[in-house]
């Protein structure tokens, strides 16, 4: 076909196509075949600033380069869906997309195998000193004694975070006859036995592992989880691996323990600042590094492009999005009605996740009052997603929350009940663990917004957001004063305080809102106060 004929064919396709799709970042051509070979699709591959008329497009496919902003969304009034060929959606304004009624989807598991394989390659390379030996022999040396390594067989591998990637690493480690210790607050005994790993506390993983690899999301709780204090708990001669998120391992602490010889070596694919800037860290002979390429395989790039291409077609043809990051497709009227409860349940799930740190088996959600007139399955999924997100190594959304919960052995259900305890609407969530349970009640009041009104049977009234300090204590004179004094000594200002008790002199709770994050040393001091049973921080 000559050039003119090709142009005429493209014009015909553009005129007759039902769906117009813009691919604004470079992607695998093979992965885009579901779009390129679909007669109903006119697919344009170009940067957004190269396209004169953006109003025609129904869908936008991006990787990390294109920034999907409020301004761009305003220029694309017919846009129905944005698809991220990968996991992270930091380059997409989710609030703006939801406001414009645009569904955002990603490819959450397209790079699972590539990341797991890269991690294991880093472990093997680190223990056998392969990069150093390669550099030496290319420099004309033949120094076999300098590169004596260690076998993997018989070593204990500690895995911090046990989602999809951690699970795949465990399968490979078992083939190498390694012992496996896993720290993950959601790992149940049943799932651990099925996969063949031993669940353990973080301290036990640190103390007993020869090699430690991290596979958690980067959150306020996991940032620097391997820092000065925790690395000191590890075995002398430990190896550390990070192919997950930069910042999970504190790089300053890492340099300290590399310098004094406590850490035998480290393998890093991700860094606190990228491109990697810390030359001092990279100059250690026992540090090997790659430029954030764990997910960069031909197969992974094919998988993520193929997944989002197929997802976009299914969605445009009227099927539900299976990997939606924001709200499922709802009419504007229904969205406005459900949004306050949706936000409340997401916050309730997040709060429960932070206070219930033992493995969880079941989550029950009860609805009473006027919320039962709405589609509560949406708010239940929101609560489950809020519960899972702080502890899972992948993006969790309202659609995939059920699948992720099932993978982790968590069942859930919802019921409509008559009793609202005097509120016009009430949401009651109960989380059951292997050795304890935790429940909270929340309500939405139009004039006052979302409120938590009960925790484990104690009546309270606070907004589930900001910096919170949750304390269980004995109801005795002076306890509240001692806590207030201690916080003042550490320059922690109290904004609000809610106190609840069931009977005089019995068990009681405090929910304190403060102006900044409560640091771990302050928490430890609070826990040492007489009559304090439990204290932990919650970030809303």
Token look-up 């596979």 returns 215
What is the rounded distance in angstroms from the CA atom of residue 240 to the CA atom of residue 203?
15
C-alpha R_g of the chain? 26
What is the rounded distance in angstroms from the CA atom of residue 517 to the CA atom of residue 536?
11
Query: Do 469 and 462 form a contact (C-beta atoms < 8 A)?
Result: no
Best CA proximity match to 383, nearest among 440, 344, 329, 332 = 344
From the list 274, 280, 434, 519, the catalytic residue is: 274
Is 245 tagged catalytic? yes
Which residues does 110 contact at the CB level (< 8 Å), separation at least 6? 85, 86, 87, 300, 303, 304, 306, 307
From the list 245, 381, 391, 408, the catalytic residue is: 245
From the list 256, 292, 451, 467, the catalytic residue is: 292
Given its phi and psi angles, is residue 449 left (phi above 0), alpha (psi -120 to 50 degrees) or beta? left
User: Cα 18 from chain centroid?
Assistant: 36
Token look-up 């029950």 returns 364
Residue 226 is given by DSSP the state B
Query: Do 99 and 321 form a contact (C-beta atoms < 8 A)?
Result: no
Is 15 tagged catalytic? no
What is the rounded distance in angstroms from the CA atom of residue 102 to the CA atom of residue 105?
10
Is 292 tagged catalytic? yes
Which residues does 5 contact at the CB level (< 8 Å), separation at least 6? none
Best CA proximity match to 218, nearest among 158, 274, 140, 291 = 274
CB-count exposure of residue 403 (10 Å: 0-12, 13-18, 19+) = middle
Peptide bond into 275 cis (omega under 30): yes
Query: Do 378 and 329 form a contact (C-beta atoms < 8 A)?
Result: no
Strand partners, 324: 105
CA 444 to each of CA 104, 231, 370, 450: distance values in angstroms, whole numbers, following the listed order: 27, 44, 11, 4
- Residues taking part in catalysis: 245, 274, 292
């Amino acid at each position: 076909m000559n050039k003119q004929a090709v142009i005429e064919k493209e014009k015909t396709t553009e005129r007759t196509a039902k769906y117009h799709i813009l691919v604004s970042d470079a992607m695998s051509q093979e992965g885009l075949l579901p779009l390129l070979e679909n007669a109903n699709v006119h697919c344009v591959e170009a940067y957004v600033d190269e396209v004169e008329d953006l109003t025609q497009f129904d869908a936008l496919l991006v990787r990390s380069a294109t920034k999907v902003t409020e301004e761009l969304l305003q220029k694309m009034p017919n846009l129905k869906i944005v698809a991220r060929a990968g996991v992270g959606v930091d380059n997409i304004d989710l609030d703006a997309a939801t406001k414009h009624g645009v569904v955002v989807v990603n490819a959450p598991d397209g790079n699972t195998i590539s990341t797991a394989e890269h991690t294991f390659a880093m472990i093997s390379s680190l223990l056998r000193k392969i990069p150093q030996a390669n550099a030496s022999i290319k420099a004309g040396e033949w120094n076999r004694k300098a590169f004596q390594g260690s076998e993997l067989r018989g070593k204990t591998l500690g895995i911090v975070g046990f989602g999809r990637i951690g699970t795949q690493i465990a399968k490979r480690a078992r083939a190498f006859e390694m012992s496996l210790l896993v720290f993950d607050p959601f790992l149940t005994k049943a799932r651990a036995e099925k996969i063949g790993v031993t669940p353990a506390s973080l301290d036990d993983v640190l103390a007993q592992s020869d090699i430690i690899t991290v596979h958690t999301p980067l959150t306020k709780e996991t940032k620097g989880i391997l820092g000065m204090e925790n690395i000191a708990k590890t075995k002398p001669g430990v190896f550390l691996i990070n192919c997950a998120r930069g910042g999970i391992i504190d790089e300053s602490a890492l340099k300290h323990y590399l310098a004094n010889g406590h850490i035998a070596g480290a393998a890093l694919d991700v860094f606190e600042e990228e491109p990697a800037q810390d030359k001092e860290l990279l100059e250690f002979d026992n540090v090997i590094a790659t430029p954030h390429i764990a997910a960069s395989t031909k197969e992974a790039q094919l998988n993520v492009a193929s997944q989002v291409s197929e997802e976009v077609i299914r969605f445009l043809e009227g099927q539900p999005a299976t990997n939606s990051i924001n709200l499922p497709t709802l009419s504007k009227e229904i969205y406005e009605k459900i949004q306050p409860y949706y936000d409340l349940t997401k916050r309730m799930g997040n709060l429960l996740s932070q206070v219930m740190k033992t493995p969880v088996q079941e989550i029950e959600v009860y609805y009473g009052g006027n919320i039962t007139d709405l589609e509560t399955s949406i708010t239940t999924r929101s609560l489950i997603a809020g519960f899972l997100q702080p502890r899972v190594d992948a993006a969790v959304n309202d659609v995939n929350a059920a699948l992720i919960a099932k993978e982790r052995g968590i069942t859930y259900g919802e019921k409509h009940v008559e009793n609202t305890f005097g509120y016009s609407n009430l949401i009651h969530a109960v989380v059951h663990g292997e050795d304890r349970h935790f429940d909270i009640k929340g309500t939405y009041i139009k004039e006052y917004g979302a409120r938590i009104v009960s925790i484990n049977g104690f009546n309270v009234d606070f907004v589930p957001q900001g910096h919170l300090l949750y304390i269980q204590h004995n109801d005795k004179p002076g306890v509240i004063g001692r806590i207030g004094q201690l916080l003042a000594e550490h320059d922690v200002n109290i904004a609000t305080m809610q106190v609840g008790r069931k009977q005089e002199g019995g068990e009681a709770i405090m929910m304190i809102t403060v102006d900044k994050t409560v640091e771990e040393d302050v928490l430890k001091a609070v826990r040492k106060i007489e009559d304090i049973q439990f204290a932990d921080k919650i970030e809303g």
